[in-house]
């Protein structure tokens, strides 16, 4: 935005309330997402980067008299900063730095060429990593195999992660380094795919992924730093001021804490330590709980099943065109409960990836028993593919959050149509059911599982349930713009257990807000809404 104040230098970060006194922004259309004051045209922000007052400019001038600085927003629209409640932030950064992005490719031939070019440009990379392959959009309608990878690279290990992150493909060198053979025992909740003659295809699913991934050299702090900060810049450009990174190992947690201590985090982060890594029965060490203005580590993460697009989520009915196959449960009750209880005993909440009926039933059984230990903790389920009435009752009784991703419908509809019956398609990812039953909904994208992490495309999909090809999945699960925007702000703040400090433009909360190019409530389609500016703690941190 130009000419907010002729004395303002936007080449340097702006802090409200620098020194003493307060500043006012005025002549704005402020959508607060606070039911007590839905709209305002002015806001006063103090030297802590928090909202001191909000209302009309006339009211605030009468209340405060004078201000250290006045900034005219020239009628622009302001909303609270958006909060993606489930997005693999460091993996977004990985794809933008050290990893080959193959999301959107149309054939294995194209994939091989990209892999070849990437390897040539990165001669010093010990492993060649790629992510985003989706067989349903490939001409060949199949995943690559180790033979496909071997045709391109034989002297270095290669590992390619499917778009869902629940399936990976390794070349012969990676398999050799990992010590995997036809005789390798398959981990519980995983699969090593083989040809009819018993030879390896190079394809690993779910907990079997760790057989390869555990041999990939760990990232250095500098690499994690570059990935996280690169991702933060990208998120800020989309108006995302808070995010949940939902699966962290010990090294990633340490990197986040170090970056926070150095004051380098730009997005408010909620990070989930992963309790049981893929391909291992070894339980990850439980860290100390941590909380600051920009980082909290207070919730642990589990995976109870796979994904719908890869047909590995644990359903209670068979997948389409299969001989009774219902997906994969990755945990049994005893291990799940015992490992989660250790965390609950130390004050951690629990978040669990659960998509299919079996997985949600198992997760809620564990949560119900944990609830008896400490009913004050807020647990959550990530994704929530389906809900029974019993599930709904459990969500309500335990004051839980459903962290959901309408964007899956936009990008993965063809996968769902290929794997799910028509009856399941009508009720998959039931956002409206969640809201109709008074359950907290937090919206998110799960990027980089999907290529499109633009919040407004996600919101438009929540409103219309339209896929990229125009087809509609689950027409009875549409929600309103107001509901979707609430779930991206207040709902996600509730999921973070931080609704008292963020999520709406309310007195006492952080001055995290964004300036939009259009008023979304005046549009038929909100997918092309853009963020012009992003402000965090009263600081202009990104400008288009």
My answer on whether 398 and 314 are in the same domain is yes
The answer to the question of residue 260 being in a domain is: no
- Looking at the structure of the chain, the number of domains it has is 2
Write down which residue in 178, 199, 214 finishes a domain. Answer: 214
Give a yes or no: residue 383 inside a domain.
yes
Confidence label for 491 from pLDDT (cuts 50, 70 and 90): very high
**Which pLDDT value is given to residue 278?**
64
Share of the chain above pLDDT 90, in %: 89
Indicate the average pLDDT of the chain: 93
| Domain hosting residue 178, numbered range | 99-214
Asked whether residue 205 falls in the same domain as residue 106, the answer is yes
As a whole number of angstroms, the distance between CA 426 and CA 417 comes to: 11
Q: Judge if 482 and 370 occupy the same domain.
A: yes
Q: Among candidates 399, 286, 300, which has minimal Cα distance to 351?
A: 300
Same domain, 457 and 347: yes
- Do the domain assignments include residue 409? yes
| 460 in the same domain as 312 | yes
Please give the structure tokens belonging to residue 542. Answer: 């990104």
pLDDT score recorded for residue 166: 85
**One domain, residues 325 and 187:** no
Q: Kindly indicate the confidence band of residue 15, based on its pLDDT and cuts at 50, 70 and 90.
A: very low
Q: Return d(Cα 251, Cα 278) in angstroms, integer.
A: 15
Any idea what the CATH number is for the domain that residue 462 is in? 3.20.20.140
pLDDT band at 279 (very low <50, low <70, confident <90, very high): low
Q: What is the mean predicted confidence (pLDDT) over 201-219?
A: 91
Does 127 map to a domain? yes
DSSP assignment letter at 61: H
* Residue 516 located in a structural domain: no
Residue 240 exposed, middle or buried by CB count within 10 Å (0-12, 13-18, 19+): buried
* 422 phi and psi angles, rounded to 5 deg: -60, -35
Read off the pLDDT band of 280 (50, 70, 90).
Answer: low
Q: pLDDT tens digits, residue range 384-409?
A: 999 999 999 999 999 999 999 999 99
Write down which residue in 180, 214, 248 finishes a domain.
214
* 55 located within any domain: no
Q: Is the pLDDT of residue 7 over 50?
A: no
Model pTM? 0.90
- CATH number, domain with residue 159: 3.10.310.70
In a domain, 264, yes or no: no
Q: Does the pLDDT at position 165 exceed 70? A: yes
Local confidence band at 376 (pLDDT 50, 70, 90 cut-offs)? very high
Closest CA to 69 of 27, 13, 22: 22
* In a shared domain, residues 432 and 348: yes
Residues 183 and 292 in one domain: no
Among 187, 214, 241, the domain boundary falls at 214
Q: Alpha helices, DSSP H only, in 199-307?
A: 210-213, 221-237, 250-261
- Rounded mean pLDDT, 300-326: 95
- Do 312 and 384 belong together in one domain? yes
Read off the pLDDT of residues 452-461 as tens digits, 9 standing for 90 and up. 999 999 999 9
Determine contact, residues 270/300, Cβ cutoff 8 Å: no
Local structure of residue 185 (DSSP, 8 states): P
349 and 493 in a single domain? The answer is yes
Is there a single domain that holds both residue 470 and residue 379?
yes
Average pLDDT over residues 85-104: 95
Higher pLDDT residue, 445 or 451?
445
Same domain for 299 and 438, yes or no, is yes
pLDDT band at 464 (very low <50, low <70, confident <90, very high): very high
Asked if residue 20 belongs to a domain, the reply is: no
Q: Is 51 helix (H, G, I), strand (E, B) or coil?
A: strand
**pLDDT attached to residue 18:** 37
Nearest to 211 by CA among 158, 303, 279, 129: 279
Taking the C-alpha atoms of residue 544 and residue 75, their distance in angstroms, rounded to an integer, is 17
């Amino acid at each position: 935005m130009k000419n907010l104040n002729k004395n303002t230098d936007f080449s340097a970060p702006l802090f409200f309330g620098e020194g003493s006194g307060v500043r006012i922004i005025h002549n704005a259309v402020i959508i607060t997402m606070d039911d007590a004051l839905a709209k305002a045209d002015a806001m006063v922000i103090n030297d802590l980067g928090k909202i001191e007052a909000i209302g009309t400019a006339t009211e605030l001038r009468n209340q405060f008299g004078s201000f250290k600085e006045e900034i005219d927003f020239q009628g622009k629209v302001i909303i609270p900063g958006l909060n993606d409640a489930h997005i693999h932030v460091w993996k977004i950064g990985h794809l933008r730095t050290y990893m080959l992005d193959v999301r959107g490719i149309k054939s294995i031939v194209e994939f091989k060429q990209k892999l070849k070019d990437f390897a040539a440009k990165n001669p010093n990379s010990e492993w060649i990593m790629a992510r985003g392959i989706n067989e349903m959009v490939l001409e060949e309608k199949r995943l690559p195999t180790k033979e496909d990878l071997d045709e391109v690279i034989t002297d270095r290990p290669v590992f390619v992660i499917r778009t869902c992150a629940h399936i990976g493909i390794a070349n012969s060198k990676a398999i050799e380094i990992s010590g995997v053979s036809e005789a390798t025992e398959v981990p519980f909740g995983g699969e090593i795919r083989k040809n009819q003659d018993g030879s390896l295809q190079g394809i690993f699913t779910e907990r079997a992924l760790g057989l390869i991934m555990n041999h990939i050299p760990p990232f250095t702090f500098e690499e994690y730093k570059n990935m996280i900060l690169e991702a933060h810049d990208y998120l800020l450009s989309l108006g995302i001021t808070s995010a949940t990174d939902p699966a962290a190992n010990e090294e990633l947690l340490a990197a986040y804490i170090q970056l926070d201590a150095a004051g380098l985090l730009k997005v408010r982060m909620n990070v989930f330590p992963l309790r049981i890594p893929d391909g291992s029965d070894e339980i990850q060490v439980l860290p100390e709980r941590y909380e600051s203005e920009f980082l909290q580590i207070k919730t642990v993460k589990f995976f109870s099943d796979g994904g719908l697009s890869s047909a590995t989520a644990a359903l209670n009915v068979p997948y389409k065109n299969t001989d009774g196959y219902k997906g994969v449960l990755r945990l049994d009750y005893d291990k799940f409960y015992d490992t989660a209880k250790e965390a609950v005993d130390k004050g951690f909440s629990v978040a669990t990836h659960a998509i299919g009926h079996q997985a949600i039933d198992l997760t809620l059984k564990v949560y119900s028993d944990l609830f008896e230990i400490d009913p004050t903790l807020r647990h959550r389920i990530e994704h929530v593919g389906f809900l029974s009435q019993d599930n709904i009752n459990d969500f309500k009784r335990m004051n839980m959050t459903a962290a959901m991703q309408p964007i899956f419908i936009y990008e993965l509809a063809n996968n769902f149509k290929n794997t799910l019956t028509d009856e399941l398609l009508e009720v998959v990812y039931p956002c409206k059911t969640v809201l109709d039953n008074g359950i907290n909904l937090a919206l998110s994208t799960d990027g980089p599982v999907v290529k499109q992490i633009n919040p407004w495309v996600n919101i438009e999909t929540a409103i219309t349930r339209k896929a990229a090809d125009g087809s509609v999945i689950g027409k009875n699960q549409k929600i309103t713009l107001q509901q979707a925007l609430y779930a991206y702000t207040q709902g996600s703040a509730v999921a973070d257990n931080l609704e008292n400090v963020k999520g709406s433009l309310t007195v006492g909360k952080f001055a995290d807000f964004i300036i939009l190019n259009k008023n979304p409530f005046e549009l038929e389609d909100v997918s092309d809404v853009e963020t012009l500016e992003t402000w965090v703690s009263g600081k202009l941190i990104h400008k288009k």
